[in-house]
Amino acid sequence: MPPLLEVRNLRVEFAQRHGTLLALDDISFDIAPGEVLGIVGESGAGKSLTGAAVIGLLDPPGRVAGGQIWFDGQRIDTLPYDAMRRIRGRHIGAIFQDPMTSLNPVYRIGQQLAETIRTHLPMSVEKARQRAISLLQETGIAAAEARMDNYPHQLSGGMRQRVVIALALAAGPKLVIADEPTTALDVSIQAQVIALLKRLCREHGTAVMLITHDMGVVAEACDRVAVMYAGRIVEIGSTRAVIHSPAHPYTVGLMGSIPAIDQPRERLLQIDGAMPRLNAIPAGCAFNPRCPKVFDRCRVERPELLPGMATHAACWLLDVPRTAA
Amino acid sequence: MTALVEAIGLTKTFDVSAPWLERIVERKPRQSVQAVDGVSFSIARGTTLGLVGESGSGKSTVARLLIGLHQPTSGTIRFDGQALTLRRTAGGRALMPQRRMQMIFQDPYASLNPRWRVKTIVAEPLVEHGLITAKDELNGAVEVLLKLVGLATPDMDKFPHQFSGGQRQRISIARALATHPDFLICDEPTSSLDVSVQAQVLNLMKDLQRSRGLTYLFISHNLAVVRHVSDRVGVMYAGRLVELADTTDLFAAPLHPYTRMLLDAIPDLSMSGRPRFPVQGEVVNPLNPPSGCSFHPRCPLANARCRSQRPALSAVQGVLVACHAVEEGRLPAR
């Protein structure tokens, strides 16, 4: 089966007064139909930017400066604004972190849902309303018909995020880009929303690009995961492999720094320092100043994604001379 | 071990009534929120009590009551054997024992004055309490404090915006340690940090506790973090403590259905496929709390008694828990 989304060597730049900032560099990944791909990283790693680039919503002065994005056999990074608009919402849905900003506070949620449905699908007002109600029911909102007449502020945070999920799925998209969909929610609501997103996308056969900083969310929901650091993918592989046997020292450190609930340890593994700023990315591997296993080559030459035991990682440790083995 | 901090029946009610005119015109009644309701705990010297709960559970209000930012509606706080009443000098300075407790806030972007240099920020408690007045002595003290939290001497002359979130939180910690407090109240100190930076700050806090014999009240919504730092854990729901136990007991054998639900809500990072119950229901509205046990609308074990009668915190198997189902032995094993 050909991939639904193909991102090849994506490069995003921000033109600034003092030259250009390279925000994303050489990002490549695929998402198969119905697959859930997690994009994790710490703040500033470029994960949200990757999502924005795919959906064509980069804020100027940010722009795609290189590479290609293919969706369902069509190249979409070069599409004119209007053509891209018809794809957004219809074929690619989006869910953002704060449900209050994705909903219009002065319209009833029923209106917002019905309008989205009628924008993308040829349907009568009455049919669209019926579809909106059934969507709300699917997201587990009790008394969906009565809720249609509520304004966003009358709903709780968890309910609002359910409405946003209903909105994203309204036109039956093939891909949903979910950017930190549970970060603003309470722990117990977070678990419900993740379970809901997973269930709905499985039922509808929708692929998901799930952007998050939370490895727990990835473990719960994703088939595969890409770990980002300083604007590049440093490791990509199946969720189980990345969590249990990470190859890149950054992923190892990231996993070790998460306090675990089932196996307490006295001290957390610590990666000293912080992610470099975009205007001061070190030569060679961007992680080299913080890496516990750094050697000379890391400081001069930048590693590409190399096949490891179970994942692909951008690390020279994996480039073992074949003769030595 | 003696208790350094004790809270006895701590209660705080906030008046959230509509403005006077609106109440008259629209005939609205006065309204109040019971933010903290009869919370009692004690923290032994040199240990950490973790408080967990979801938003609106009253954990931050407990912190603010302890530090004296709010006055309790009723109940008492005892610090080192003395009842705590806020006393100030004529100049408005807090007297002992307030000086012996300090607070670290959640957002390091909001808790540091952006117009002040780091040395002014860190030295403020010393100057405020009149502990050190000579300028070079002050600089020396700041230098020691910064070194303690892993920052360098040249950082003294920088402004907060020149630091990352984790470094700012280190500055907050240095400031909190300036008066040599015994007790630190940490209100979600790592919630706004990335995991790798969170690990740095948590390790630093543990090291400082060991070397200086600090006592912590550690507030967080993240159970894994609380487990990592705490000796005892209190679980709050709708302004009340529903379970208070040693960390190992609480995580090995949680009793209260809410604690069990919270544990089930944690993503399974090791992907072990341990059996979990799906989480249900919404967080309670503090303006309109349910009758009886405030958890009953979400509780799988609720019966008529739970809906009408509020359970009190009582000792079961050495653990304090407020639940009728536990008391009646209706609790299923897990």
Q: Encode pLDDT of B219-253 as tens digits.
A: 998 888 999 999 999 999 999 999 999 999 999 89
Rounded mean pLDDT, A163-169: 92
Chain A residues near any Cβ of chain B (below 8 Å) = 42-43, 156, 158-159, 186-192, 194-195, 213-217, 219-220, 239-240, 243-244, 253-254, 256-265, 267-272, 274
Burial of B328 (0-12, 13-18, 19+ CB in 10 A): exposed
DSSP structural state of residue B157: G
Would the CB atoms of B195 and A158 count as touching at under 8 Å? no
Angle between helices B195-212 and A249-256 (to 10 degrees): 50
Rounded mean pLDDT, B328-333: 83
At B30 the pLDDT is 86
pLDDT exceeds 90 at position B218: yes
SS (H, E, C) A137-159: HHCCCCCHHHHCCCCHHHCCHHH
Would the CB atoms of B282 and A215 count as touching at under 8 Å? no
Q: Is the peptide bond before B160 cis (omega within 30 degrees of 0)?
A: no
Would the CB atoms of B224 and A219 count as touching at under 8 Å? no
> A276-280, B268-272, B303-307: which has the minimum mean pLDDT?
B268-272
At B1 the pLDDT is 60
At B93 the pLDDT is 56
At A308 the pLDDT is 86
pLDDT confidence bin for A175, thresholds 50/70/90: very high
Rounded mean pLDDT, A231-257: 92
Would the CB atoms of A263 and B195 count as touching at under 8 Å? no
Backbone CA torsion sign across B227, B228, B229, B232: positive
Cβ neighbors of A176 (< 8 A, separation 6 or more) are: A92, A93, A94, A95, A168, A169, A201, A206, A207, A208, A209
The rounded percent of chain A whose pLDDT value lies above 70 is 98
B residues 34-73 near A, CB within 8 Å? 54-55
Q: Nearest residue of B to residue A269 by CA position?
A: B199
Instruction: Name every chain B residue with its beta carbon within 8 A of the beta carbon of A43.
Output: 194
Instruction: Name every chain B residue with its beta carbon within 8 A of the beta carbon of A251.
Output: none
pLDDT exceeds 90 at position B56: no
Rounded mean pLDDT, A249-278: 84
Rounded mean pLDDT, A154-160: 87
Would the CB atoms of B267 and A158 count as touching at under 8 Å? no
Q: Nearest residue of B to residue A290 by CA position?
A: B196
Q: Nearest residue of A to residue B247 by CA position?
A: A264
The superfamily (CATH) of domain B3-18+28-110+182-291+310-327 is P-loop containing nucleotide triphosphate hydrolases (3.40.50.300)
Partner A contacted by B200 (CB < 8 A) = yes
Rounded mean pLDDT, B182-186: 93
Instruction: Name every chain B residue with its beta carbon within 8 A of the beta carbon of A195.
Output: 278
pLDDT confidence bin for B88, thresholds 50/70/90: low
SS (H, E, C) chain A: CCCCEEEEEEEEEEEECCEEEEEEEEEEEEECCCCEEEEECCCCCCHHHHHHHHHCCCCCCEEEEEEEEEECCEECCCCCHHHHHHHECCCEEEECCCHHHHCCCCCCHHHHHHHHHHHHCCCCHHHHHHHHHHHHHHCCCCCHHHHCCCCHHHCCHHHHHHHHHHHHCCCCCCEEEEECCCCCCCHHHHHHHHHHHHHHHHHHCCEEEEEECCHHHHHHHCCEEEEEECCEEEEEEEHHHHHHCCCCHHHHHHHHCCCCCCCCCCCCCCCCCCCCCHHHCCCCCCCCCCCCCCCHHHHHCCCCCEECCCCEECCHHHCCCHHHC
Tokens read off for B192: 């706004």
| Closest in A186, A188, A254 to B195, CB measured | A254
Strand order in the sheet with B314-316: B101-104, B183-187, B215-220, B48-52, B232-237, B240-246, B319-321, B314-316
CA distance A3 to B251: 43
At A325 the pLDDT is 42
Instruction: Name every chain A residue with its beta carbon within 8 A of the beta carbon of B256.
Output: none
At B99 the pLDDT is 77
Rounded mean pLDDT, A117-142: 91
CA distance B26 to chain A (A): 20
At A173 the pLDDT is 93
Would the CB atoms of B55 and A159 count as touching at under 8 Å? no
Backbone CA torsion sign across A229, B271, B266, B229: negative
Q: Nearest residue of A to residue B263 by CA position?
A: A261
CA distance A147 to chain B (A): 16
Q: Encode pLDDT of B1-12 as tens digits.
A: 688 999 999 999
Asked casually if ipTM beats, i.e. exceeds, 0.95, the reply is: no
| Closest in B54, B199, B224 to A261, CB measured | B224
Closest CA to B105 of B46, B60, B41, B73: B60
Residue whose structure tokens are 């998050």: A212
Would the CB atoms of B270 and A263 count as touching at under 8 Å? yes
Do the beta carbons of residue B178 and residue B125 sit within 8 Å? yes
pLDDT exceeds 80 at position A94: yes
pLDDT confidence bin for B96, thresholds 50/70/90: low
B144 or A1, higher pLDDT = B144
At A323 the pLDDT is 44
pLDDT exceeds 70 at position B272: no
Tell me the pTM: 0.86
CA distance A25 to A65: 10
Buried b (16+ CB within 10 A) or exposed e, A255-273: bbbbbbbeeeeeebbbbee
Do the beta carbons of residue A37 and residue A219 sit within 8 Å? no
pLDDT exceeds 70 at position A45: yes
A277 or B61, higher pLDDT = B61
Instruction: Name every chain B residue with its beta carbon within 8 A of the beta carbon of A253.
Output: 196
Rounded mean pLDDT, A248-266: 84
Instruction: Name every chain A residue with its beta carbon within 8 A of the beta carbon of B203.
Output: 267-268, 270
Rounded mean pLDDT, B148-160: 89
pLDDT confidence bin for A324, thresholds 50/70/90: very low
Most confident region among A133-142, A257-266, B97-106, B268-277 by mean pLDDT: A133-142
> A31-45, A218-232, B23-37: which has the minimum mean pLDDT?
B23-37
CA distance A185 to chain B (A): 9
Do the beta carbons of residue B309 and residue B292 sit within 8 Å? yes
B residues 3-32 near A, CB within 8 Å? none
At B333 the pLDDT is 76
Would the CB atoms of A270 and B196 count as touching at under 8 Å? yes
| Phi, psi of A55, deg, nearest 5 | -85, 0
- Tell me the domain boundaries of chain B: 3-18+28-110+182-291+310-327
Instruction: Name every chain B residue with its beta carbon within 8 A of the beta carbon of A263.
Output: 270
B82 or A251, higher pLDDT = A251
Taking one residue from A and the other from B, the number of pairs with CB-CB distance under 8 angstroms is 122
**CATH classification code of A5-91+171-245:** 3.40.50.300
Partner A contacted by B272 (CB < 8 A) = yes
Q: Considering chain B, what is the average pLDDT of its residues?
A: 87
pLDDT exceeds 60 at position B258: yes
B281 or A135, higher pLDDT = A135
Would the CB atoms of A42 and B195 count as touching at under 8 Å? yes
The rounded percent of chain A whose pLDDT value lies above 90 is 53
Partner A contacted by B228 (CB < 8 A) = yes
Rounded mean pLDDT, B137-165: 90
At B112 the pLDDT is 92
| Closest in B54, B194, B200 to A270, CB measured | B200
pLDDT exceeds 70 at position A220: yes
Partner A contacted by B271 (CB < 8 A) = yes
The CA-based dihedral angle spanning residues B272, B275, B278, B279, taken in that order and rounded to the nearest 10 degrees:
-80
Strands A62-71 and A74-75: antiparallel
